[in-house]
Amino acid sequence: MNMIVAVDQNWAIGNKGDLLVRIPADHKMFRQETSGKVVVLGRKTMDTFPGAQPLKNRINVVLTRNTAYRALGCVIVHDLEELAEELKKYDSRDVYIIGGSSVYEQLLPWCDTVHVTRIDHAYEADAYFPNLDKDPAWRITADSEEQYYFDLTYHFLKYERIQPVSG
């Protein structure tokens, strides 16, 4: 299973319910990587999408404890057991965890690949991704050339778990 995330120097991913920055090439990479695949996200992340609508050309699986939550065009699950059962329907290589922070933390043990857009800047933030550089279970297996967006520099990195997830 995969995760895909954009982080700053401190592994921050968001502030006050929004992304830290919008980089068009990062969004393009996200679309290319996840199009035609399964995306797993939390309700708060879903609420940040335009019109709280699911992402097009993807199966959107929303994890929420709110049993009354409904979202047209989405599969709704309420706990990790229900999520695991739903994800059995798909090839794990086609599943991408896309946030937010609590969903990332809960599902990182399920993943063996993390696609990281690493932004060379520190933002004010209140949501973070686990620091894979400090976790000996992960290593960088791909690193892009330095990318630029106005005065920002960033890299596309691929982290892979040294010991793949079993099962």
Please check whether residue 35 lies inside any domain of the structure.
Answer: yes
Find the farthest-apart pair of alpha carbons in the chain and give their distance in angstroms, rounded. Answer: 46
Residue 167 within any structural domain of the chain: no
pLDDT in tens, 72-125: 999 999 999 999 999 999 999 999 999 999 999 999 999 999 999 999 999 999
What are the tens digits of pLDDT across the range 69-84? 999 999 999 999 999 9
The answer to the question of residue 19 being in a domain is yes
Give dist(CA 112, CA 53) in Å, integer: 28
Q: Which domain holds residue 56?
A: 2-161
Per the structure, the count of domains in the chain is 1
Asked if residues 140 and 157 have their Cβ atoms less than 8 Å apart, the reply is yes
In a domain, 166, yes or no: no
- The four Cα atoms 98, 71, 81, 85 give a dihedral, to 10 degrees, of -90
State pTM to two decimals. Answer: 0.94
Is the separation of the CB atoms in 43 and 37 below 8 Å? no
Chain-centre distance for alpha carbon 34: 10
